[in-house]
């Protein structure tokens, strides 16, 4: 259907967006690439432009690297499973007949508007804190010893915080998908006497698969770069140091820009591997 | 959606903000970056008093939590950003930054009545590089034992002026009453070079440990470090609060103020808070020197939050005028008049400790001064070391390394690994980093 | 036969949904309540819920200590500005990708998304150096541009998936009638695209409002938004829960209220192609 002319016009329309993103990619990325081969430690006043792959070597061989990759994957996987399972349940729940549905929806989507720093601070101090946190009062109320979430279950605590923030997003997308399910399909199943679980498994879930892939894709992009939540709660202690946080430590805490830049490049490469993998799936799913 | 209107709106916004930025750069405004600690917040609140004396200087404040402040200030100074005219930094940063010529020397250009000779020598010494004073101390601190007299009495013990670590541990166990939420000892456990590592490094000095030997070899595999860490972990397990691994200065302060600590070993500057209005135990607090092990070194540190001028500042003179004001004797008098003598920033000037009003109002003054004077940054350890600094090692790599070591020790306190594992990891990563740094 | 809805069932669903909804909302509610307590009440054991001396002293203290109006203005300008700028770049691109798909369209789209993978801190120094060289440190325009670039891939993606759902036949019909490309966009497409664009704008304002890395590190005073404002109230000395709560409420209230009022629009276009 596309004519030569409209194709040219289309290219012209895409060009500005591609151009600015290209500049955005290239300038910082090229500089990072340049620094990653340099010995650049401003606090020492050291700048040696070329030291080969030494930064890459020390970043990759340091004992913290693999641990950080593992932590990142666990964190993302944990958050994704909570938000998707919770999101499906909430979406199904919100689709039921009830009084004040609009208000419930407002309550459920509220966490999405809270900035990460604020939610991390609130959870850390007012909920997880072992002396004055609400959870501790709850434990004491039931006659139990308060549990120190942030040092005993640090990864879980951060996953809870982030999942709380992203649950609304998953719920909203999944809700739209649930609502688009034609009621005839469901009714037919109901008439056939299919029990709830079966209905869910054979009709609802397949219908949601597209929405789930989208949620996974979009969330992963954001979750791979989680920073504020870790910075505020544990500062990377107790095995909560993700790859992003490791790069942060190299760049800002150790002030080793060369090493940090190498870490940054490695993080970009790994993230893109994950992304390509994800998008293959999504691409397939979206083309259906 | 009217795209054209939106576009016009956006352009208008852009030009408005551009003009605003332009206007700001032409006025005689100074931007001050500072920590959100109580004394600094008070300084910010007293800006009006500064403007009474200097109406020509407009002051903008950037008051931030310590970690965020460090991110901002370090990025600015290493890139020569010039965003700030006055920055708040500590004894660790000043020598390193001063050496790189990133700070302006305060040897001249300060107000005439700003009496440099009055500064405590131990404090001023840490801020001086090659005879140039690169920062003016705003408040100085060492560390000491703060304890509850009532609980001590109940335990049938008496706190000596200079306790040993064994006494502290014994007293802590005796005071602990977990059913009533009383923990014998509170100490820092939160990971960070300025948090648990400040406490543990100072403590290790009194156990005869050191970070590096004279050849810059990491020493975490030494017996002295094993003794330090094991003692600390055991004592905290016996008598420390739950969740100690997340407690930094502020968390412990809250605990102590709520009456949940029998003893607290931390910054001397906390003394005015634990005896202040927010404290439920204000009239029961006693003070003692930081503990020792009879090896000739005490476990107390030395630190001064100080005001400095980055070389990249455009308003060096105005910045110096402000620093002269905020770190002068006159400033303490202003605070005393507004908030009472007990609340003046302590630990920087000899004259303060000769001031009868201050000594009368601050029961902790004497112990603070003794603690500060007993710390020796140039000779911090039992065995000789190639570095200076009591609770830190004054090399640029230290912050990065100590943050990671702090995480290992914090994880040990949280019970996630043993002391041996923590020390092994610390030794490995320190060696790794030091080799990478070319030592 | 319609699905039988008994009253009993409806009440049961209502109770369950309200219970869970309140549970999710609880942290915000608790922050709100705490912001009106005194510092001592804020940590009282057992916690108090509604019956305490409500006070606004925390709000007064926060307002006294920092320039909230400026931070709020900056947040609004940066969030709205970057969104508008992003839309300007994204609408044509997404339109072209959706209606004139070429063989490379999908690749371009995926490449765009992959730019979002750049870990912010990794490019911190390069960016600071460039910004300094341009003299743009602590300026709103810098943040508007950077946040626009960070979120542009998401905007394009969202619009693309939305536009794709607009049936192509309508365009064909318009074209048959001799409509030019311009009028095709203006009169046929735009009205249909409005819900998608509206929800994209809303989502992007939220994302920009909450961005807390660049907005903290590239600003000092003039351009500092609410994310930086919050940093001066986290973990100061002494008791701080009540003041932290007040500052938190002040930082999230504007966006929360905007979100609530526009939730219908937000939800309508927020599909990312999730629904066929």
Average pLDDT taken over every residue of chain B: 91
B438: left (phi over 0), alpha (psi -120 to 50) or beta: left
Counting one residue from A and one from C, how many pairs have CB atoms under 8 Å apart? 293
Same domain, B342 and B331: yes
Q: Does residue B378 carry a pLDDT above 70? A: yes
Residue B18, pLDDT score? 47
CB B10 within 8 A of CB C85: yes
Tell me which of A184 and A62 has the higher pLDDT.
Answer: A62
- DSSP assignment of C104-147 equals THHHHHHHHHHGGGS-GGGGHHHHHHHHHHHT-TT-HHHHHHHH
Tokens standing for residue A236: 């990377």
pLDDT for A213? 86
CA distances from B186 to B169, B177, B234, B255, B405 (A): 11, 13, 13, 8, 20
Say what the pLDDT of residue B327 is.
96
- Tell me, yes or no, if A152 comes closer than 8 A to chain B by beta carbon: yes
Among residues B29, B38, B34, B30, the alpha carbon closest in space to that of B72 is found at B34
Q: Is residue A44 part of a domain?
A: no
| Domain membership flag for residue A70 | yes
A224 touches chain C (CB under 8 A): yes
Q: CA–CA separation, C12 vs B335, rounded Å?
A: 62
Task: Assess whether B307 and B160 both reside in one domain.
Answer: no
Chain B closest-CA separation from residue A252 CA (Å): 7
Nearest C-alpha of chain C: how many angstroms from B79?
7
Q: How many beta-carbon contacts under 8 Å exist across A and B?
A: 105
Chain B interface includes C84 (CB < 8 A)? yes
CB nearest to B399's CB, from A44, A231, A253? A253
- B181 Rama sector, left if φ>0, alpha if ψ -120 to 50, beta otherwise: left
Q: Which residue range is the domain that position B419 belongs to?
A: 142-301+383-436
- Which is nearest to B265 in space by CA: B362, B345, B367, B347? B367
Cα dihedral B97, B102, B107, B111, rounded to 10, equals -110
Contact between residue C247 and residue C71 where contact means Cβ atoms under 8 Å apart:
no
Cβ atoms within 10 Å, residue B215: 7
Among B11-20, B76-85, B181-190, C118-127, the range scoring the smallest mean pLDDT is B11-20
Looking at the structure, do residues B192 and B181 belong to the same domain, yes or no?
yes
Q: What is the mean pLDDT of residues B350-364?
A: 94
Residues near C87 by beta carbon (within 8 Å), at least 6 away in sequence: B6, C155, C197, C200, C201, C204
Look up residue B103 and give its DSSP letter: B
The answer to whether residue B4 is domain-embedded is no
- Is residue A38, in this structure, part of any structural domain at all? no
In this prediction, residues C22-29 reach a mean pLDDT of: 96
CATH, residue B286: 3.40.190.10
Say whether both B320 and B399 belong to one domain: no
pLDDT tens digits, one per residue of B256-269: 999 999 999 999 99
The answer on pLDDT for A2 being more than 90 is: no
Interchain CB contact of A64 with B (< 8 Å): yes
**Same domain for B291 and B264:** yes
> Among C37, B189, C34, which Cα is nearest to A125's?
C34
Task: Give the number of domains in chain B.
Answer: 2
Domain for residue B214, yes or no? yes
Q: How far apart are CA B138 and CA A250, in angstroms?
A: 30
pLDDT over 90 percentage in chain C? 45
Judged by phi (left if over 0) then psi (alpha if -120 to 50, else beta), residue B415 lies in left
The CA angle B62-B65-B66, to the nearest 5 degrees, is 105
- Over range C123-144, report the average pLDDT: 91
Among B214, B240, B222, B266, which Cα is nearest to B391's?
B266
Q: Can you give the pLDDT at residue C4? A: 56
Comparison of pLDDT for C268 and A148, the residue scoring more: A148
Domains of chain C: 7-59 (no CATH), 67-269 (1.10.3720.10)
CB A116 to CB C212 under 8 A? yes
Q: For an interface test with A, give the residue of B80, B241, B245, B435 to mutate (most A CBs within 10 A).
A: B245
Q: Does pLDDT of B13 surpass 50?
A: no
What angle (nearest 5°) sits at the alpha carbon of residue B114, between those of residues B113 and B120?
135
Considering the domain boundaries, does residue A178 fall inside one? yes
- What pLDDT is attached to residue B16? 46
In a domain, A107, yes or no: yes
- Which chains have 3+ CB pairs within 8 A of A? B, C
Identify from A2, A113, A134, A261 which residue to disrupt to test chain C contact, counting C C-beta atoms within 10 A and taking the largest count. A113
d(CA A124, CA A150): 8
Rounded to an integer, the average pLDDT of B182-208 is 95
In a domain, B369, yes or no: no
Q: Mind listing the pLDDT tens digit for each residue in C103-130?
A: 788 778 878 887 787 778 888 888 898 9
**A249 and chain B in contact, CB less than 8 A:** yes
Is pLDDT at B413 greater than 70 in this prediction? yes
Residue B172 Cα to chain centre, angstroms? 25
CATH of the domain at A167: 1.10.3720.10
Q: How far apart are CA B310 and CA B325, in angstroms?
A: 18
Count the Cβ atoms, other than its own, within 10 Å of residue A153: 15
Number of domains in chain A: 1
Asked if pLDDT for residue B338 goes beyond 90, the answer is: yes
Average pLDDT, chain C: 86
Structural domain contains residue B367: no
Q: Per residue in A141-188, pLDDT tens?
A: 898 888 889 888 999 999 999 999 999 999 999 988 888 876 767 777
Both B147 and B164 in one domain: the answer is yes
Percentage of chain C exceeding pLDDT 70: 93
Q: How far apart are CA A102 and CA B65, in angstroms?
A: 39
Residues 6 or more apart in contact with residue A174 via CB below 8 angstroms = A84, A87, A88, A90, A91, A208, A211, A212, A215, C274
Taking the Cβ of residue C210 and every Cβ of chain A, the question of whether any pair is shorter than 8 Å is answered with: yes
| pLDDT tier at B226, thresholds 50, 70, 90 | very high
pLDDT at B22: 44
Residue A140: predicted pLDDT? 87
Which of B98, B121, B37 lies closest to B375 in space, CA to CA? B121
Q: In terms of residue numbers, what domain contains A151?
A: 59-287
How far, in Å, CA of A245 to CA of A261, rounded?
A: 13
| Residue B170 confidence (pLDDT) | 96
CB contact under 8 A, C267 and A90: no
Q: Is the pLDDT of residue B3 over 60?
A: no
pLDDT one-digit tens code per residue, A95-138: 888 898 889 999 999 999 999 999 999 999 999 988 888 998 89
In C, residues 183-202, which contact A (CB 8 Å cutoff)? none
Indicate if the alpha-carbon torsion angle B198, B199, B202, B207 is positive or negative.
negative
**Under a CB-based contact definition with an 8 Å cutoff, are residues A69 and A270 in contact?**
yes
- Does residue A6 fall inside a structural domain? no
What mean pLDDT is predicted for residues B188-209?
Answer: 95
* C58-77 pLDDT, tens digit each: 999 999 888 999 999 999 99
Across the interface, whether the CB atoms of C30 and A126 are under 8 A apart is answered yes
Residues B216 and B123 placed together within one structural domain of the fold? no
Each residue of B267-310: pLDDT tens digit?
999 999 999 888 899 999 999 999 999 999 999 999 999 999 99
Q: Which tokens is B139 given?
A: 């408040």
Query: Which residue matches tokens 């800006």?
Result: B47
Tokens linked to A276:
């390509």
Question: Is residue B366 in a domain?
Answer: no
* Position B431 pLDDT exceeds 90: yes
Q: Which residue of C has its CA nearest to B247?
A: C235
In a domain, B12, yes or no: no
Q: Do C152 and A21 touch (CB under 8 A)?
A: yes
Mean pLDDT of chain A: 87
What would the mean pLDDT of B222-239 be, rounded to a whole number? 96
Q: Residue A33 falls within a domain, yes or no?
A: no
Q: B267 and B171 in one domain?
A: yes
Residues B136 and B146 in one domain: no
ipTM: 0.89
Asked if the structure places residue B186 within a domain, the reply is yes
- The answer on B103 and B190 residing in a single domain is no
Contact C112 A18 (CB under 8 A): yes
Record the pTM: 0.90
Q: What is the pLDDT at residue B27? A: 58
- Residue A286: the pLDDT is 58
Query: Nearest Cβ partner of A235 from B191, B401, B413?
Result: B191
Nearest to C97 by CA among A7, B77, B139, A75: A7
Average the pLDDT over B410-439 and give the result: 92
Residue in this structure with the two tokens 């139990």, named with its chain if needed = A144
Q: How far is A65 from chain C (nearest CA, A)?
A: 15
The reply to whether A4 falls in a domain is no
pLDDT at A288: 46
Residues B42, B148, single domain; the answer is no
Q: Does B119 share its domain with B149?
A: no
Residue A270 pLDDT > 50: yes
Q: Using the beta-carbon criterion (under 8 Å), do B20 and C222 form an inter-chain contact?
A: yes
User: B372 by DSSP, 3-state: which?
Assistant: helix
Mean pLDDT for B18-47 is 77
Contact assignment for C232 to B36 by CB distance below 8 Å: yes
Which of B377, B403, B407 minimizes the C-alpha distance to B391?
A: B377
Q: Say what the pLDDT of residue B120 is.
A: 95
Of A7-16, A21-30, B106-115, highest mean pLDDT: B106-115
Segment A279-288, tens digit of pLDDT:
777 666 655 4
Tokens 């009062």, residue located: A137
Q: Name chain B contacts of C247, Cβ cutoff 8 Å.
A: none
Model pLDDT, residue A283: 65
């Amino acid at each position: 259907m596309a004519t030569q002319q409209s194709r040219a016009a289309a290219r012209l329309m895409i060009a500005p967006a591609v151009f600015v993103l290209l500049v955005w990619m290239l300038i910082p990325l090229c500089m990072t690439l340049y620094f990653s081969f340099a010995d650049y430690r401003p606090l020492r006043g050291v700048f040696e432009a070329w030291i080969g792959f030494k930064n890459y070597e020390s970043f990759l061989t340091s004992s913290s690297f693999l641990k950080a990759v593992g932590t990142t994957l666990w964190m993302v996987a944990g958050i994704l499973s909570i938000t998707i399972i919770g999101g499906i349940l909430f979406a199904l729940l919100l689709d039921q007949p009830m009084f004040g549905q609009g208000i419930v929806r407002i309550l459920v989507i509220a966490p999405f508007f809270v900035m990460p720093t604020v939610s991390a601070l609130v959870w850390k101090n007012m909920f997880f804190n072992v002396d004055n946190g609400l959870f501790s009062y709850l434990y004491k109320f039931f006659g139990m010893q308060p549990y120190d979430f942030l040092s005993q279950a640090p990864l879980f605590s951060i996953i809870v915080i982030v999942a709380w923030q992203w649950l609304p997003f998953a719920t909203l997308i999944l809700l739209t998908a649930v609502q688009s399910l034609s009621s005839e399909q469901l009714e037919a199943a109901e008439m056939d006497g299919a029990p709830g679980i079966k209905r869910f498994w054979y009709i609802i879930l397949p219908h949601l698969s597209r929405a789930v892939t989208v949620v996974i894709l979009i969330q992963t992009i954001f979750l791979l770069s989680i920073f504020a939540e870790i910075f505020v709660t544990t500062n990377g202690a107790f095995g909560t140091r993700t790859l992003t946080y490791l790069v942060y430590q190299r760049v800002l805490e150790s002030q080793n820009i060369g090493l940090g830049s190498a870490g940054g490049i490695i993080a970009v490469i790994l993230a893109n591997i994950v992304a390509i993998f994800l998008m293959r799936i999504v691409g397939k799913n979206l083309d259906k | 959606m009217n795209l054209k209107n939106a576009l016009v709106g956006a352009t208008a916004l852009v030009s408005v903000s551009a003009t605003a930025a332009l206007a700001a750069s032409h006025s005689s405004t100074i931007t001050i970056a500072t920590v959100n600690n109580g004394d600094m917040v008070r300084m910010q609140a007293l800006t009006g008093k500064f403007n009474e004396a200097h109406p020509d200087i407009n002051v903008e404040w950037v008051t931030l939590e310590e970690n965020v402040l460090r991110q901002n200030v370090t990025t600015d100074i290493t890139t020569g950003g010039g965003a700030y005219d006055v920055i708040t930094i500590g004894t660790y940063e000043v020598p390193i930054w001063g050496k790189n010529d990133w700070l302006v020397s305060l040897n001249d250009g300060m107000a005439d009545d700003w009496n440099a000779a009055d500064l405590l020598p131990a404090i001023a010494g840490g801020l001086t590089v090659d005879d140039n004073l690169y920062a003016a101390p705003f408040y100085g601190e060492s560390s000491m034992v703060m304890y509850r007299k009532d609980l001590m009495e109940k335990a049938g013990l008496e706190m000596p002026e200079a306790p040993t670590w064994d006494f502290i541990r014994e007293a802590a166990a005796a005071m602990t009453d977990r059913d009533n939420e009383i923990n014998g000892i509170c100490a820092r456990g939160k990971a960070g070079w300025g948090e648990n590592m400040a406490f543990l490094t100072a403590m290790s000095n009194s156990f005869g440990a050191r970070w590096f030997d004279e050849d810059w070899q990491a020493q975490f595999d030494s017996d002295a470090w094993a003794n330090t860490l094991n003692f600390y972990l055991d004592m905290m397990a016996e008598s420390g609060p739950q969740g100690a691994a997340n407690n930094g200065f502020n968390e412990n302060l809250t605990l102590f103020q709520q009456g949940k600590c029998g003893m607290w070993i931390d910054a001397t500057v906390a003394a005015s808070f634990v005896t202040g209005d927010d404290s439920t135990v204000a009239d029961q607090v006693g003070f003692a020197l930081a503990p020792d092990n009879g090896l000739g070194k005490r476990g107390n540190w030395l630190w001064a939050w100080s005001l400095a001028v980055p070389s990249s500042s455009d308003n060096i003179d105005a910045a110096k005028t402000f620093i002269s004001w905020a770190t002068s004797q006159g400033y303490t008098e202003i605070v005393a008049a507004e908030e009472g003598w007990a609340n003046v920033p302590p630990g920087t000037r000899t004259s303060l400790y000769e001031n009868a009003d201050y000594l009368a109002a601050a029961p902790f003054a004497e112990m603070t001064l003794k603690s500060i004077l007993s710390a020796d940054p140039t000779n911090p350890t039992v065995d000789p070391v190639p570095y200076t600094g009591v609770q830190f090692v004054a090399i640029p790599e230290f912050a990065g390394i100590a943050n990671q070591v702090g995480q290992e020790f914090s994880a040990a306190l949280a019970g996630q690994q043993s002391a041996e594992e923590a020390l092994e990891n610390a030794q490995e990563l320190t060696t790794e980093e030091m080799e990478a740094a070319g030592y | 036969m319609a699905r039988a809805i008994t009253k009993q069932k409806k009440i049961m669903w209502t109770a369950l949904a309200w219970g869970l909804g309140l549970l999710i909302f609880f942290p915000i509610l608790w922050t709100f309540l705490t912001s009106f307590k005194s510092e001592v009440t804020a940590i009282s054991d057992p916690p108090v819920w509604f019956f305490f001396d409500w006070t606004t002293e925390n709000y007064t203290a926060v307002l006294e200590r920092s320039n909230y109006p400026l931070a709020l203005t900056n947040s609004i300008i940066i969030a709205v500005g970057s969104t508008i700028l992003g839309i300007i770049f994204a609408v044509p691109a997404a339109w072209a990708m959706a209606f004139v798909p070429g063989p490379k369209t999908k690749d371009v789209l995926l490449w765009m998304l992959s730019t979002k993978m750049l870990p912010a801190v990794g490019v911190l120094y390069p960016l600071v150096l460039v910004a300094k060289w341009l003299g743009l440190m602590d300026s709103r325009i810098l943040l508007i541009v950077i946040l626009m670039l960070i979120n542009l891939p998401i905007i394009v993606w969202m619009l693309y998936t939305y536009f794709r759902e607009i049936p192509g036949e309508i365009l064909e019909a318009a074209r048959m009638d001799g409509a030019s490309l311009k009028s095709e966009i203006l009169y046929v497409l735009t009205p249909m695209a409005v819900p998608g664009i509206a929800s994209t704008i809303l989502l992007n304002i939220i994302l920009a409002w909450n961005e807390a890395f660049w907005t903290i590190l590239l600003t000092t005073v003039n351009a500092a938004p609410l994310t930086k404002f919050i940093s001066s109230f986290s973990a100061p000395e002494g008791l701080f829960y009540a003041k932290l709560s007040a500052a938190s409420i002040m930082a999230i209230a504007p966006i929360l209220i905007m979100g609530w009022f526009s939730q219908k629009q937000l939800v309508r276009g927020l599909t990312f192609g999730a629904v066929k």
